[in-house]
Amino acid sequence: MNCILKTITTLSKTANINNQIRTMHNEILREIFQESVNSVQPQTLIKNKVLVHESHLSIDSETHPISKPCYIVGFGKAVVGMAVQLEKALGSKLEMGIVTVPKGIFECFKDNKEVLPAPNSRIRFIEGAENNLPDKNAEQGAKEIKELVEQLQADDFLIVLISGGGSALLPLPIPPVTLDEKLGLIKNLAKRGANIIELNCVRKQISALKGGKLAELSYPCRTVSLILSDIIGDPLDFIASGPTTPNNDTFIDPIKIIKKYSLYSETPNSIKAAFEKKNRSPETVTPILNGKYKHVENYIIGNNKIAAEAARMHAEKLGFQSLVLSTNIEGEVAEIAEAYANLARNTADLIRNSSSEESLRSFRQALKADLHVADDLISGIINMDFSKKMCWVLAGEPTVVVKGAGKGGRNQQLALEFAFRVNSHQIKSANISFLSAGTDGIDGPTDAAGALADAKLLANCLAEKINPADYLDNNDSYSFFSAYKEGECLVKIGHTGTNVMDIHLLIVEPIDKQ
- 438 & 509 share domain: yes
Asked whether the whole model's pTM tops 0.85, one would answer yes
> Rounded to the nearest 10 degrees, how much is the dihedral formed by the CA atoms of 108, 113, 117, 119?
120
Q: Which amino acid is at 313?
A: M
Last residue of a domain, one of 302, 336, 355: 302
Residue type, 31: E
In this prediction, residue 388 carries a pLDDT of 86
The whole-angstrom separation of Cα 315 and Cα 310 is 9
For residue 409, being part of any structural domain is answered with yes
Q: What is the CATH number of the domain that holds 490?
A: 3.40.1480.10
3-class state of residue 443 by DSSP: coil
Does residue 398 share a domain with residue 385?
A: yes
Both 217 and 138 in one domain: the answer is yes
Task: Give the CATH number for residue 79.
Answer: 3.40.50.10180
Q: Roughly what angle, to the nearest 10 degrees, separates helices 357-371 and 375-382? A: 150
Measure the CA–CA gap between 259 and 262, rounded to whole angstroms.
Answer: 5
Same domain, 288 and 322: no
- Domain hosting 144: range is 42-302
Residue 398 CA: distances (Å) to CA of 59, 60, 240, 333, 463: 32, 31, 19, 6, 31
> Is 290 in the same domain as 316?
no
Adjacency order of strands within the sheet including 502-510? 321-329, 390-396, 502-510, 430-438, 450-454, 490-491
CA distance 355 to 386: 10
Query: Exposed, middle or buried, 309 (CB in 10 Å: 0-12/13-18/19+)?
Result: middle
Give me the amino acid identity at 279.
Answer: N
Is residue 134 domain-shared with residue 279, that is, in the same domain?
A: yes
| One domain, residues 272 and 321 | no
pLDDT at site 292: 55
Say whether both 226 and 242 belong to one domain: yes
Q: Is the dihedral of CA 82, 409, 197, 210 positive or negative?
A: negative
20 within domain boundaries: no
Contact 259, 202 (CB under 8 A): no
In a domain, 21, yes or no: no
Q: Cβ neighbours of residue 346 under 8 Å, at least 6 residues apart?
A: 359, 362, 363, 366
84/94 Cα distance (integer angstroms): 12
For residue 467, is it within any domain? yes
250: phi then psi, degrees, rounded to nearest 5: -65, -20
Dihedral over Cα of 100, 106, 112, 118: its sign: positive
Q: Point out the domain boundary residue: 256, 280, 302.
A: 302
Edge to edge, the sheet with strand 157-163 lists 123-128, 94-102, 70-75, 157-163, 222-228, 296-302
Bridge partner residues of 71 (DSSP): 96, 158
User: Is 139 in the same domain as 270?
Assistant: yes
**N-terminal to C-terminal alpha carbon distance within the chain:** 29
Angle CA 446–45–74, to nearest 5: 75
Q: Is residue 480 part of a domain?
A: yes
User: Which amino acid, 417?
Assistant: E
3-class state of residue 294 by DSSP: coil
The total number of structural domains that make up the chain: 2
Within a domain: residue 12? no
252 with 372, same domain? no
pLDDT in tens, the chain (514 residues): 555 444 434 444 455 666 788 789 999 999 999 999 999 999 999 999 999 999 999 998 899 999 888 999 999 999 999 999 999 999 999 999 999 999 999 988 888 878 889 999 999 999 999 888 899 999 999 999 999 999 999 999 999 999 988 999 999 999 999 999 999 998 899 888 888 778 888 988 899 999 999 999 999 999 999 999 999 999 999 899 999 998 877 667 888 999 999 999 999 999 988 887 644 444 455 555 555 578 999 999 999 999 999 999 999 999 999 999 999 999 999 999 999 999 999 999 888 876 678 888 888 888 988 998 988 888 888 778 888 899 999 999 999 988 899 999 999 999 999 999 999 988 888 999 999 999 999 999 999 999 999 999 999 998 888 999 999 999 999 999 999 999 999 999 998 999 999 999 999 999 865 4
The distance of Cα 205 from the centroid of its chain, to the nearest Å, equals 26
Residue 239 lies in a domain: yes
Q: Using CA atoms, how far apart are residues 377 and 382, in angstroms rounded to an integer?
A: 9
Residue at 223 is within a domain: yes
Are residue 280 and residue 331 in the same domain, yes or no? no
- For residues 207 and 99, state if they share a domain: yes
Domain final residue, candidates 273, 302, 331: 302
Torsion of CA 230, 236, 239, 242, to 10 degrees: 170
CA–CA distances in Å: residue 216 to residues 155, 210, 221, 246: 16, 10, 10, 9
* Identity of the amino acid at 95: E
Nearest Cα neighbor of 73 from 7, 2, 161, 133 is 161
Q: Are 156 and 141 in contact (CB under 8 A)?
A: no
